[in-house]
Amino acid sequence: MKLFLFIFLSIFSIQCSVKKNISSDTTGDFKRDTLTYFDQSRHRKIPVAIYKPANQANANKIPVIFSHGWGENKGGDYFIYSYLTEFLASKGYFVVSIQHELPTDEMLAMDGKLQVTRRPNWERGVQNILFVLNTMKKEFPDLTYSQLAVMGHSNGGDMTALFAHQYPALIHKVIALDNRRMALPRTKSPKIYTLRSDDYPADEGVLPSEDEKEKYGMVVEFTTIHHSSMDNDVTPEERKYMTQKVLEYLEK
């Protein structure tokens, strides 16, 4: 009896450590669930917001994982692209937005060779994405993971690009919103799309050459939107452009 109770409590403890603080909100065409995963191997909390169609009859079962830009470790950044995540959910997509930064994390490197000094931050982001993806596969096995899209803005776009380098077989599409430091993979699979700002250039080698774009079918489009305005700071006109362009990439 004691052995049975010990096993039961151990299993219960593991389950509770993986997911907690679940809250739900349904608004119009989408539903948002917020919860916190826990990666026991790294002793790390991973808050996530899950956006999905309010009416499951409209669900296309295609998963999208979104990674936010650097937010100075203040938290809550997984909510500040809601204009985009909510829109995609209303169109049938299953969107998971990850909170990558915790208050106890070291600040993002601002000096040195950034491809080197920021690499630990990106590697942690890659592990967050992988853990969330593996958890999704257990909790939502009916999603079409062969169509998985990973997307991120700025530093989150750099994490997304690195994830695509390390786990290309897990991804169908990559959508990078003005990542500036991590080179985009030169590959036909996964498919690579990127939207660029009008005020900050990417580092040398991040974007493909004209020959590489043609060879691999990579899509690079320049916009009139500022780098820091690709989150909820977008104007109504920019919002329309961003949402429709991302939807276009996902539907190709």
Give residue-wise pLDDT tens across range 166-218: 999 999 999 999 999 999 999 999 999 999 999 999 999 999 999 999 999 99
Q: What is the pLDDT of residue 252?
A: 93
Q: What's 141's DSSP letter?
A: T
Q: What is the pLDDT of residue 28?
A: 76
Residue 12 lies in a domain: no
Residue 7 has pLDDT above 90, yes or no: no
User: What pTM was estimated for this model as a whole?
Assistant: 0.91
The number of distinct structural domains making up the chain is 1
- CATH code assigned at 105: 3.40.50.1820
Residue 3 has pLDDT above 90, yes or no: no
Residue 14 has pLDDT above 60, yes or no: no
Residue 234 has pLDDT above 70, yes or no: yes
Distance, in Å, from the CA atom of 160 to the CA atom of 157, rounded to the nearest integer, reads 5
Range of the domain at 117: 18-251
What confidence tens digit (pLDDT) does each residue in 15-61 have? Answer: 444 565 666 666 679 999 999 999 999 999 999 999 999 998 899 99
Residue 2 lies in a domain: no
Binning the chain into helix, strand and coil, the percentages to the nearest 5 are 40, 25, 35
Residue 159 lies in a domain: yes
Residue 197 lies in a domain: yes
Q: What's 184's DSSP letter?
A: P
Angle, helices 82-90 vs 236-251, to 10°: value is: 50
Q: What is the pLDDT of residue 80?
A: 98
Residue 10 lies in a domain: no
Residue 214 lies in a domain: yes
What is the biggest distance separating any 2 CA atoms in the chain, rounded to whole angstroms? 69
Residue 67 lies in a domain: yes
Residue 5 lies in a domain: no
